[in-house]
């Protein structure tokens, strides 16, 4: 875990270049065992089981099958060691097992139906055509230990162990770490000092050259099976032995065994005649010949094409290429429809290297071929689904993919919440989601484990309520996040500013109203998606009354901020009220005119304690001809009117002419 953290840290610190993800190609050894299943009508069905870690698993649960033959390609460098049935080792002396050279026959009808596991041991790799020597006669063994030595260029491969025991005696036991099986058992007569007696003649096939036989042994003998360690020349269409050394001092038979996979077609053989091995050890996957001319043994053949199928966790890409190396020969193949067709070489292993977009994906070292063999590529078409906390697709941001194997990264823009990464090779990756330079999500993944990566990010739709000190919603206020025009919203009639899919973190918030900054603060959305801003502002109502206490309508009242130049003018209604919504706390000047002669101006300090209603009684009784009349003017006016009235009356009396008759 510390190593991964260290790699991540290095990637974050030093990955400044955006590079395509490269492929940390791996190598896989491909080995198969061939399995022949015989049903009750002796129909044979051929299948293949993969060998991994010197083990192969074979499940036989169809009760129509009665026999299973497991056959190994000698080129694999393996031999059969043990057979397990449902987790338990089958005894080697079981009559339900019959061993052969590079094969074993399982009588599943008698053993049972279930899961079989074949365990293998390492051995030298032997070519498809090889030579065995088997003596004609058994060599008597004194004691109970069998030991066979090599003879010049002939190495002991296995031993036929002959054991004569009494009918009711202790069952013999072969003490060896290698595989063996009882291949023949019969009742025989033998001579004793007391006369003729009956006993059991047991023949064991033992894949060892040094072992002990325990039990009630009357007689013990062995017949080695030698393998010629000088291998033939293998060419494109023939296999040739130009000289086979004699095994001096021992009479016996030289055999040529040719392993015949399904793609191998025999044309002809020289220097040999048809034969069978003792105790019928061969099977139909091998051609067995008796060597007549040890100086000229030639096997002519042709190879048929086999199809190699490639699979990925998802569908494989169409642009795959294969580079096939057999010995010193290298050839490039196009892979069409995830299928590579080729003629396998008998010289194994054959290395098949798969490339995708000029990047090496994987090397396969193939020791055994068969038609329609399936090979898995560590490629997966990975799609990332990025959502917010409400599971809605993310519409913006950046997805960064780090390869922890190669310390490289690739960036992908997020637009719809779905990002295709293309085909990624096997390995550990870190996916990070960045919104506005802030990490909102991260996940570790391996394409071979998952091809759909879902990341729920700490992103949500944010709501900001803007209210004044009276808890009244403020409409048409501009809310700005992080001084960015990108994140700027206008409050609606409910005083709500809505921001879509923002990171859940702390934000610097500014609120502007009528071109004035009225709020500057920080809101923490780490654990919430909705917040309220209370701006230190009020709805201020200025009410104008005349001297008689009656409202004065239709007066333009101006509220002017001291020293700022900001001002707002509102016309009083029929109740004499001028309503100023959203007035920040500050120093103001109230100005208005009543008529052409009455001017009012007063400084106020708007504070939290300040009443929301300011009532101003004006020394005005009424207006006439756009002229404000107060009590003084009214008294003067009345006085003048009285003077004028009296003067008119006086003038009328003083100007009368009396006429007498």
* H, E, C per residue of 357-376: CCEEEEEEEECCCCCCEEEE
pLDDT score recorded for residue 659: 44
Residue 257 tokens, joined: 């065994």
Residue 546 burial class via C-beta count within 10 angstroms: exposed 0-12, middle 13-18, buried 19 and up? buried
Residue 560 tokens, joined: 């002017």
Instruction: Tell me how far apart the alpha carbons of residues 424 and 382 are, in angstroms, rounded to a whole number.
Output: 7
Q: Is the Cβ–Cβ distance between 134 and 278 less than 8 Å?
A: yes
Running DSSP on this structure, what letter comes out for residue 279?
Answer: G
3-class SS of residue 640:
helix
Q: What is the DSSP string of 528-558?
A: -SEEEEE-SEEEEEEEEE-TTS-B--S-EEE
Return the sign of the alpha-carbon dihedral for residues 183, 189, 190, 194.
positive
Q: Is the Cβ–Cβ distance between 135 and 97 less than 8 Å?
A: no
Instruction: Tell me how far apart the alpha carbons of residues 334 and 323 are, in angstroms, rounded to a whole number.
Output: 9
Nearest-5° Cα angle at 635, 634 to 637: 60
Instruction: Tell me how far apart the alpha carbons of residues 497 and 521 are, in angstroms, rounded to a whole number.
Output: 16
pLDDT score recorded for residue 283: 63
Q: What is the DSSP string of 82-142?
A: EEEETTEEPPTT-TTEEEETTEEEE-HHHH-SEEEEEEEEE-----SEEEEEEESS-EE-S
Find, among 409, 398, 442, the residue nearest to 15 by Cα: 409
Which residue in this structure is represented by tokens 């494989």? 316
3-class SS of residue 494:
coil
Residue 88 tokens, joined: 């338990």
Return the sign of the alpha-carbon dihedral for residues 49, 55, 61, 63.
positive
Instruction: Tell me how far apart the alpha carbons of residues 287 and 291 are, in angstroms, rounded to a whole number.
Output: 12
Whether residue 349 has a cis bond before it, omega within 30° of 0: yes
3-class SS of residue 508:
strand
pLDDT score recorded for residue 35: 95
Find, among 495, 467, 466, 499, the residue nearest to 482 by Cα: 499
Instruction: Tell me how far apart the alpha carbons of residues 24 and 288 are, in angstroms, rounded to a whole number.
Output: 45
Tally of CA atoms within 13 A in the half-sphere of 489 that contains its CB = 18
- Residue 526 C-alpha from the chain's centroid: 29
Q: What is the signed CA dihedral for 75, 77, 82, 87, rounded to 10 degrees? A: -90
Return the sign of the alpha-carbon dihedral for residues 615, 618, 620, 621.
positive
Residue 162 burial class via C-beta count within 10 angstroms: exposed 0-12, middle 13-18, buried 19 and up? buried
Q: Is the Cβ–Cβ distance between 217 and 161 less than 8 Å?
A: no
Please enumerate in sequence order all residues whose Cβ is within 8 A of that of 488, keeping only pairs 6 or more positions apart, or say none: 478, 479, 480, 481
- Residue 50 C-alpha from the chain's centroid: 25
- The size of the chain, in residues, is 661
Find, among 134, 127, 90, the residue nearest to 112 by Cα: 90
Please enumerate in sequence order all residues whose Cβ is within 8 A of that of 13, keeping only pairs 6 or more positions apart, or say none: none
Q: Return phi, psi of residue 541, to 5°.
A: -115, 125
* Full set of structural domains in the chain with CATH: 2-20+379-455 (2.60.40.1120), 31-125 (no CATH), 233-303 (no CATH), 305-376 (2.60.40), 459-534 (2.60.40.1120), 537-629 (2.60.40.180)
Q: Is the Cβ–Cβ distance between 221 and 272 less than 8 Å?
A: no
| Model pTM score | 0.68
Instruction: Tell me how far apart the alpha carbons of residues 400 and 21 are, in angstroms, rounded to a whole number.
Output: 11
Q: Is the Cβ–Cβ distance between 609 and 526 less than 8 Å?
A: no
pLDDT score recorded for residue 175: 94
Instruction: Tell me how far apart the alpha carbons of residues 515 and 507 are, in angstroms, rounded to a whole number.
Output: 21
- Profile the chain (661 residues) by mean pLDDT over runs of 10 residues: 41 40 72 94 93 95 94 92 94 85 92 96 92 95 94 94 90 91 91 88 94 92 95 90 89 94 92 91 80 93 94 86 91 92 91 89 93 91 94 95 87 94 87 94 90 94 91 91 85 94 93 88 92 88 88 90 83 91 86 86 86 86 75 71 78 56 43
Running DSSP on this structure, what letter comes out for residue 76?
Answer: G
Residue 134 tokens, joined: 């088997």
Longest dimension (CA), the chain: 214
Which residue in this structure is represented by tokens 């955006």? 18
Residue 77 tokens, joined: 């460098």
Q: Return phi, psi of residue 510, to 5°.
A: -125, 145
Instruction: Tell me how far apart the alpha carbons of residues 562 and 567 are, in angstroms, rounded to a whole number.
Output: 9
3-class SS of residue 161:
strand
Measuring CA to CA, how many Å separate 99 from each of 106, 136, 350? 9, 20, 29
Measuring CA to CA, how many Å separate 625 from each of 564, 573, 622, 634, 644? 36, 20, 10, 14, 21
**Cα-Cα end-to-end distance for the chain:** 143
Nearest-5° Cα angle at 283, 282 to 285: 120
Q: What is the signed CA dihedral for 117, 121, 125, 131, rounded to 10 degrees? A: -90
């Amino acid at each position: 875990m510390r190593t991964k953290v260290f790699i991540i840290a290095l990637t974050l610190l030093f990955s400044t270049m955006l590079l395509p993800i490269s492929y940390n190609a791996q190598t896989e050894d491909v080995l198969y065992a061939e399995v022949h299943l015989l049903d009750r009508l002796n129909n044979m069905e051929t299948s293949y089981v993969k060998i991994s870690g010197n083990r192969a698993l074979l499940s036989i649960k169809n009760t129509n099958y009665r026999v299973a033959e497991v056959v190994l390609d000698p080129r694999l460098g393996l031999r059969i060691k043990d057979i397990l049935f449902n987790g338990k080792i089958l005894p080697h002396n079981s009559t339900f097992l019959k061993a052969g050279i590079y094969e074993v026959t399982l009588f599943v009808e008698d053993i049972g139906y279930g899961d079989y596991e074949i365990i293998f041991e390492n051995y030298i790799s032997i070519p498809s055509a090889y030579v065995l020597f088997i003596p004609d006669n058994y060599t008597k063994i004194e004691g109970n230990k069998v030991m066979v030595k090599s003879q010049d260029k002939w190495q002991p491969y296995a031993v036929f162990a002959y054991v004569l025991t009494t009918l009711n005696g202790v069952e013999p036991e072969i003490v060896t770490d290698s595989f063996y099986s009882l291949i023949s058992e019969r009742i025989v007569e033998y001579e004793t000092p007391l006369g003729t007696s009956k006993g059991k003649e047991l023949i064991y096939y033992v894949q060892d050259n040094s072992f002990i036989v325990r039990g009630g042994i009357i007689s013990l003998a062995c017949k080695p099976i030698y393998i010629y360690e000088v291998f033939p020349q293998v060419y494109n269409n023939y296999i040739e032995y130009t000289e086979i050394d004699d095994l001096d001092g021992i009479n016996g038979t030289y055999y040529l065994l040719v392993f015949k996979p399904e793609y191998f077609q025999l044309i002809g053989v020289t220097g040999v005649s048809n034969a069978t091995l003792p105790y019928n050890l061969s099977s139909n996957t091998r051609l067995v010949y008796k060597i007549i001319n040890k100086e000229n043994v030639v096997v002519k053949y042709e190879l048929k094409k086999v199809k190699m199928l490639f699979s990925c966790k998802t569908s494989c890409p169409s642009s795959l290429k294969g580079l096939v190396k057999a010995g010193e020969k290298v050839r490039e193949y196009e892979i069409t429809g995830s299928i590579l067709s080729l003629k396998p070489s008998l010289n194994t292993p054959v290395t098949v290297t798969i490339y995708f977009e000029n990047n090496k994906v994987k090397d396969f070292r193939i020791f055994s071929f068969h038609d329609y063999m399936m090979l898995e590529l560590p490629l997966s078409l990975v799609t990332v689904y990025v959502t917010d906390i409400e599971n809605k697709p993310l519409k913006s941001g950046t997805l960064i993919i780090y390869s922890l194997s190669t310390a490289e990264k690739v960036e992908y823009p997020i637009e719809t919440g779905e990002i295709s990464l293309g085909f990624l090779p096997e390995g550990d990756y870190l996916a990070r989601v960045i919104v506005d330079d802030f990490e909102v999500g991260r996940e570790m993944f391996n394409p071979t484990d998952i091809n759909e990566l879902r990341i729920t990010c700490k992103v949500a739709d944010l709501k900001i309520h803007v209210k004044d000190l009276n808890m009244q919603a403020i409409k048409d206020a501009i809310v700005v996040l992080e001084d960015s025009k990108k994140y700027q919203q206008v409050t609606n009639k409910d005083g709500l500013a809505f921001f879509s899919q923002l990171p859940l973190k702390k934000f610097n918030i500014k609120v502007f109203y009528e071109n004035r900054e009225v709020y500057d603060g920080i809101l923490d959305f780490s654990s919430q998606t909705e917040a309220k801003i209370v701006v230190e502002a009020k709805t201020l109502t200025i009410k104008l009354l005349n001297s008689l206490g009656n409202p004065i309508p239709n007066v333009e009242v101006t509220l002017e901020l001291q020293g700022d130049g900001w001002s707002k003018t509102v016309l009083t209604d029929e109740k004499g009220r001028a309503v100023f919504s959203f007035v920040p706390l500050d120093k103001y000047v109230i100005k208005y005119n009543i008529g052409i002669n009455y001017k009012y101006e007063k400084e106020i300090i708007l504070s939290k304690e300040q009443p929301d209603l300011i009532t101003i009684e004006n020394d005005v009784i009424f207006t006439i001809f756009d002229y404000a009349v107060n009590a003084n003017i009214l008294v003067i006016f009345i006085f003048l009117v009285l003077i004028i009235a009296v003067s008119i009356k006086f003038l009328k009396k003083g100007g009368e002419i009396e006429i007498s008759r």
